[in-house]
Chains A and B, each alone.
Chain A
Amino acid sequence: MAKVKGAIKVDDEKCKGCSLCVVACPQKVISLAKEVNGKGYNYAYMANPDECTGCTNCAMVCPDSVITVYRLKSQVEA
C-alpha cells in the first residue's frame, strides 16, 4: 500500500507558540519546544515526524503563516 509521507517546516523565529497547529493536526505530529525563540515563544516543531501525512491542516490554521508543508507519495512499502 502506498503510504503518504509528509513533513512540515516551521519558521521558528516567527512562530508565536499559539498551539493552534498542535490541536489542528489529526496525527499529533506537532508539539511546542521547551526552548524559546528570540521573541520568547515556545515554537512549534515536529515531535512525531514519522506520522506526518502532509495534509496541510496545521498550515491552514496558523495565524502567522509560518508553516510550509511538503508531501511525498512514497514507494510501496514492503
Chain B
Amino acid sequence: MAEINEIIKPENLVYAKSKVLTDNVMSYCPGCTHGVVHKLIAEVIEEMDIQEKTIGVCPVGCSVLAYNFLDIDWQQAAHGRAPAVATAVARLKPEKIVFAYQGDGDLASIGTAEIIHACNRGENMVVIFINNGIYGMTGGQMAPTTLEGMPTSTSPYGRDIKMTGHPLRITELIAQLPGTNFVTRQAAHTPASVRKCKKAIRKAFDNVAAKKGTSFIEVVSTCSSGWKLSPVKSNEWMVEHMFPFYKLGDLKDE
C-alpha cells in the first residue's frame, strides 16, 4: 500500500489553488459561497490566460474586498453601481474582459436601475450575481430576494409579503431583455454543481471575449451567518427552500 508521502509529490498533483487567487486569507465567514465563486472565476481566468486583460468591478457587500483575493485589475463601485462603472470600463477599454460582481442587496435592491439598463443596452460584460437572499454584510437584513416566511434580522417572524411585497426573481426579468445573450441560474454547493457553475462562468467569459453582449450568471448562495445555520445546514436549507423558488438552469442561451 502506498504511503501518503509517496503520493504527495509534485508529479502526482491533480488539483491546486488557482494562481489567480492571492495568498490572502479570505474575509468571508466559514462556508461562504462567495469564496467558492471567487475560486471558479479565478480558475476560468487562468484557463483562458486572460489575467492581464481582465477587469473586475467590485460591489458593496461582503465581497467589497474581492480585489484582495483575485490578482487582476479591479475597480470599486458605489453600492449597486457596478454595472454602470463596468459599462464605462467596457466602452473605454473594449480590448479588456470586464465583469461586474454583485450581491442581491446590491443588484436587486439599490442597483435595480443600473443592472436593468446595462443588460438592456447589452453592455459587453459578465455579471456574476450572488443571491443569498439577505444583506449579509450589514447584519442579515431582509432583501428584495428574501423568501416569503424567511426570518431575517428585520423580519424576525419571517417575511410577510402583504407588507413587504414578493421575493424578486430579477434573473427572470433580465432574461427578457434583448441585450442579454446568456442568462443562467447556478449553484455551488456540491462537486457537481461547482463543475456546472464553472462551465457557465467559462461560457460567459467566452461570450464577452466574442463581444456578444451581456452574460448574466446568478449563483443561488448561502449566508450561514445571516441565516444563523451552520454551513452544511445552510446548504440543506438552500436546497429545500431556495431551489423551489429560484429554479436552477439556463433561462436564455443564444
A30 close to chain B: CB less than 8 A = no
Question: In whole angstroms, how far apart are the Cα atoms of A27 and B185 in the complex?
Answer: 29
Contact between B12 and A61 (Cβ–Cβ < 8 Å)? no
In the complex, given contacts A54-B12, A65-B21, A70-B14, what are 17 additional A-B residue pairs having Cβ atoms less than 8 angstroms apart? A20-B232, A59-B15, A60-B194, A60-B195, A61-B36, A62-B36, A62-B39, A65-B17, A65-B18, A66-B17, A68-B13, A69-B14, A70-B8, A70-B12, A70-B13, A71-B7, A71-B14
Q: Which residues of B contact A66 (CB under 8 A)?
A: 17
Q: Which residues of B contact A16 (CB under 8 A)?
A: 29-31
How extensive is the interface on chain B, given as a class?
Answer: 35 or more
B162 close to chain A: CB less than 8 A = no
B2 close to chain A: CB less than 8 A = yes
Q: Which of A19, A46, A74 has the most CB of B within 10 A?
A: A19
Smallest CB-CB A-B distances: 9 pairs: A63-B35, A18-B31, A16-B30, A18-B30, A69-B15, A57-B191, A7-B7, A70-B12, A65-B17
Q: Which residues of B contact A23 (CB under 8 A)?
A: 232
A73 to chain B, nearest CB (A): 9
B16 to chain A, nearest CB (A): 5
Q: Which residues of A contact B188 (CB under 8 A)?
A: 61
Contact between A72 and B31 (Cβ–Cβ < 8 Å)? no
Question: In whole angstroms, how far apart are the Cα atoms of A59 and B18 in the complex?
Answer: 11
Q: Which residues of B contact A (CB under 8 A)?
A: 1-2, 4, 6-9, 12-18, 21, 25-26, 28-36, 39, 188-191, 194-195, 230-232, 235
The DSSP consensus for interface residues of chain A is mixed
When C-beta atoms are compared, the residue in chain A nearest to B191 turns out to be A57
Q: Which of A6, A14, A18 is close to B7, meaning CB atoms less than 8 Å apart?
A: A6
When C-beta atoms are compared, the residue in chain B nearest to A23 turns out to be B232
Q: Which residues of A contact B (CB under 8 A)?
A: 5-7, 9, 14, 16-20, 22-24, 41, 46, 49-50, 54-57, 59-72, 74
B7 to chain A, nearest CB (A): 4
Contact between B30 and A17 (Cβ–Cβ < 8 Å)? yes
Contact between A64 and B35 (Cβ–Cβ < 8 Å)? yes
B13 to chain A, nearest CB (A): 6
Contact between B230 and A63 (Cβ–Cβ < 8 Å)? no
